[in-house]
Each structure stands twice: as C-alpha cells, then as structure tokens.
Structure 1
Amino acid sequence: MTEAVPAGAVPAGAVPAGASDAHVQSLARGLAVIRAFDAEHQEMTLSEVAVRTALTRATARRFLHTLVALGYVRTDGRLFSLTPLVLQLGYAFLSGQRLPELAQPILEDLSHRHGESTSLAILDGTDIVYLTRIHTRRIMTVGISPGTRFPAHATSMGRVLLAALSPGELADYFAHAELAPLTPRTLTSREAIEAELARVREAGYAVVDQELEVGLRSVAVPVIGAEGRAVAAINVALPARLDSAGTSEERDVEAAQLVPELREAAQRIAEAARAVGAA
C-alpha cells in the first residue's frame, strides 16, 4: 500500500502545471529532497525523506548521497540534514533584491517606536518569503530570518498579497495551495479565505490572530510598486492574549490602530524603491 504524502510535503515526481518537454524531472526531484527539510524536519532518515517526497527508498538514497557528495547534505550514516551550503542556492536571489536594504531603516524605526518585530516579505508560489526581519522580543517558537517561508493563507502579509492578485492568479493559487491548519484558528476552506481576502481588499490591510501560531497576532499592509500592484508586504507582529479578554473584533481594532503607521512606512519604502528603479 502506498503511504500518503504528509501535509506540507511536495511530491518529487509531480510535474508543475504548464511544464514543457524541457522539464528535467531529476532536477525537480533533487530540489524536492532539499525542500523536504524544514524547521520541523531538520534531521531525517532515508525512509522519512522518501515518504515526504513520495520517492522510492532507492531513488531517495541516490539523491541524498549525491547531495552529500556535493556538500549540501551531511549524514552520520543514519540521519541526514542540510548543511549551510544550501544557503548559496537562495543567496543570489536575496542579494539581488534592493527592497530589503531600502526597507531596513524604515522598519527599524517602526519597530523601535512600538517595541515590536517588523518584517518585509514577498509572495512566492503558495508561500511568503521573508526578505527582512527586525527582531525585538521572541514571540514565535520558530526563528525567522531572510529566506524563511510560511504558507500565505495563514499570514497577514500573505493575505494582503493574495488579496492583490487577479482572479486568474488567485484561482491558480488555490489550485496549488495546501490549506493546512497550523493552529485551531487557521482558516482552511477556500470559501472562508476568499471571504477574508474580500475584507482585506476593501480595508487595505490584514489582521491575523493566532492562525500561524498560538500567541501571535500580526497586522500587514501592501507595498505598492510603480505599476500600482503590490510588490511586497510589511507587518508588525504582536503578542496575542491567551485568555478570553475582549472580543475578536476588539482585538482586531487594537491591531488596526497600527495601520496608519504601517501605511506610512510602506509608502516610504515604495518611494525609495521607485527612486532607484527597484519597484
């Protein structure tokens, strides 16, 4: 009996929509093996990698040992884990982004004024990717740094970026997104998420209360590029009340009080980016 692919895993043999005969399946499988490692799966056995990538054990073994030989994976003979060399795979992209360096001082100013963490992220497929993170106190169990990815549907920055998509782009997103629950509060149905995106589209900002992680709220606004489309998003992360004090609407109002300053910061980032031709 074939074992089901776990939530969050990407079948290595799956061919992306629109792929042509130029699609190299072996490269796709090798990248899927790398992507199988994440914060919850930092070390895995051969069998665990095979399950998460939907590869046979023999195929997974070949890819893992190739990555070991290339220096991207290390092993003690039983467990496999990524090495720092994999950072080079994303460095070219991150180093080519002008937005992080332009946003950094603006987000630092916003963070210092409120004593809360701020971030800049873009949409990449069904995930958001962090480009900049200004840390204050640690309110998440998972550390965030440039390159960290989270499912867009469960994040405030993801929602403002999804709300900016065209109907066709949004349909494509839902065709590929795995709307997995990350906490008991996470919206996981397309209908509920689309209704929330409609509210975000009308309001111009998103508030997410403990859908990504219990104890964490965040509020986000888009960064609008020269062509009038959202090119990124910024947010402020806030500790959430773990008791029942206040209604959800009251908590949303509290978070929304940060929106004017977030919008001002997003506008400053957009203006700086346009001035240097970065957005």
Structure 2
Amino acid sequence: MEDHAVEGVDAGIGRNEFVRSLATGLSVLESFTPLEPRLTVSEVAQRSGVSRATARRMLLTLDSLGYAHSDGRHFELTPKVLGLGRGYWSGRGWHELLRPWVDSLSASVGESCSAAILAEDDVMYVCRVHTRRIMRIDLGLGTRLPAFATSMGRVLLAGLEGQELGRRLERMDRPQLTEHTLTDPARLAEEVTRAREAGHAVVDEELELGLRSVAVPVHDAEGRTVLALNTSMSAGREPLQESVGRVLPALKASAASVEELVHSLGREVDRLVLPTAS
C-alpha cells in the first residue's frame, strides 16, 4: 500500500518546502475522534491513508514522546496532545473551548447543561446548551446568578480557602428567592462544605420553584477550582436521588475531560475571554 494521505496537498508550495512526514503525522493524529479514541495500527493506517508500517512508526514515535500510549494492541492519545493547541486557545473564549464537552454532556443526559465561573458573588455563565426551557429567565452567555443559591455557585465557593468562605457568605446579598432558599450564612457554609467533601452540589428549588440542578467542579493543574459544570432539570419529574444518580456520572466524566484540557493550558486559562451578558 502506498502512502497517499497527503497527495496533492503540496500543490501550492514548492517541493522542497513541503514536509511530508509532518503532514503524515498530522493525518495520523486526526484519525482519532471522540467516538473512536482507541485504534489499532491497521485502523489508523486505513483512516489516515498511509501504509501499516508508516502508521506504526508514527504511533510509536507519538508513544515515545508521550502523546500516545498503547496497551500492546490499541493506541490512544494522551492529554499531552491538548497542549499543542495552547497557542490557539490563548486569548480565545470559554465558550469556544467548552462547547464540545457541554454539547456531549447535554446529549448524554438529555438535559440543559452549563458551565460557569465565579464572578464576585455571582456565577457567570460561560457556556450553555439548552434543551428545553424550565426557567422563567432566559440564560445566555454572560448571565449572572447569585452563587449562594445555585449548584455551580456552591461548588465554586467550595474552592475558596481558609476563612474566605465565611467572609464571602456574610457580606453577600442573600435574598429569599423561594420558600426553599437557604439564606443563613452558617447553614450555607455547611452546604458548601458538604459539596466540597462530596465533590458535587445539589440545589433543589432554591433558585426557582420547579428547578433542580446538580453541579461538579473543574480544577486547574494547581488544584484551583476554576470552573463548574451543571445539569438542570424539572424538579417534579423524578425523586431527588434519582436525578442525582442519573446525571452525576456523566457530569464527573465530563469534568475529568475538561480538567485535562484546562491542565494543558496551564496559566493560559486565566487569559480566556469572558462573555458579556446577552
């Protein structure tokens, strides 16, 4: 089998300027997809249009450099590959970065899903995939909601250090949004501490009647809580624990994937563009 993955690609540049081995390596990398993350040498050769021997050399090279690993039969890319896009993501928006993962999460649980950061005493929505409207207000990029009464807010507040949590809860406005809303700083501190220990937060009809949400944190390479992912649903469709059990595994899996990307960005994550309220 002749390698033909890059035939015709170099027509616009000089023969001595086109690096065929680089083009072949990129074709090998592009063989892997979220739906097919683990491939054999033969599968990579078929998808990239190169010989099996070439595919094997490329994969072994990626393996030796830490961009892939193998169980002896299948190859799989490692999070190190995400670092290749660091320059691209620097200065770009959270929404662009997170949309594929939030899309996938929403599809897997069949609910609206969001990502938010902590902005003073609020959560700010930086990515959202909407399936059906269950809130009175329309949530868009840049929308801010009170952190104390939201599941994402509580996992983000759980990332505060030392006495900062207590000080933050004492000084922030804590309106009684529904009959279920917790407003007492001490009780809120208990809920945030529980969220920190459990690795997720659940808010049931505290922000709005009929609305339930479950959220998990996303940490950077230094362990800072930089982001929260959540799933929201109608409170009356099923018992609370059924809701949590149904969506929490997918939330945690998505958070783990997003963490790999955030880790690859390092401190560049602090430069991601924030959305404006829509």
TM-score class normalised by the smaller sequence:
0.5 to 0.7
Question: Which residue of 240, 246, 268 maps to 2:257?
Answer: 268
- Per the TM alignment, residue 98 of structure 1 is displaced from its structure 2 partner at its CA by 4.1
- Per the TM alignment, residue 229 of structure 1 is displaced from its structure 2 partner at its CA by 1.4
Larger CA Rg, structure 1 vs 2: 2
Within 2, Cα distance between the matches of 1:233 and 1:114?
17
- Tell me, what secondary structure is at the counterpart of 1:197? helix
Aligned position for 1:254: 243
Per-residue CA deviation, residues 121-143 of structure 1 (Å, 9 max, x unaligned), is 00111100000110010000100
Native 8 Å contact 1:161 1:232 kept in 2? yes
Kindly report which structure 2 residues correspond to 1:160-171, keeping only aligned pairs within 5 A, or say none. Answer: 160-171=155-166
Aligned position for 1:240: 235
Aligned residues: 179
Aligned position for 2:184: 189
Native 8 Å contact 1:126 1:176 kept in 2? no
Aligned position for 1:100: 95
Native 8 Å contact 1:221 1:234 kept in 2? yes
Alpha-carbon RMSD across the aligned residues, in angstroms, is: 1.8
Native 8 Å contact 1:223 1:266 kept in 2? yes
Aligned: 1:142 with 2:137: yes
Name the amino acid aligned to 1:222: P
Within 1, Cα distance between the matches of 2:145 and 2:166?
19
Provide the identity percentage: 45
Question: Which residue of 218, 221, 233 maps to 1:223?
Answer: 218
- Tell me, what secondary structure is at the counterpart of 1:263? helix
Aligned position for 2:111: 116
If the length of structure 1 is used for normalisation, what is the TM-score? Answer: 0.60
Gapped regions of structure 1 (runs ≥ 5):
1-94
Native 8 Å contact 2:156 2:228 kept in 1? yes
Question: Which residue of 169, 174, 178 maps to 1:179?
Answer: 174
Name the amino acid aligned to 2:177: L
The runs of at least 4 consecutive aligned structure 1 residues that moved more than 6 Å come to none
Gapped regions of structure 2 (runs ≥ 5):
1-89, 270-278
Aligned position for 2:196: 201
Within 2, Cα distance between the matches of 1:124 and 1:198?
20
Per-residue CA deviation, residues 70-98 of structure 1 (Å, 9 max, x unaligned), is xxxxxxxxxxxxxxxxxxxxxxxxx9454
Within 2, Cα distance between the matches of 1:194 and 1:143?
29
Aligned position for 2:10: none
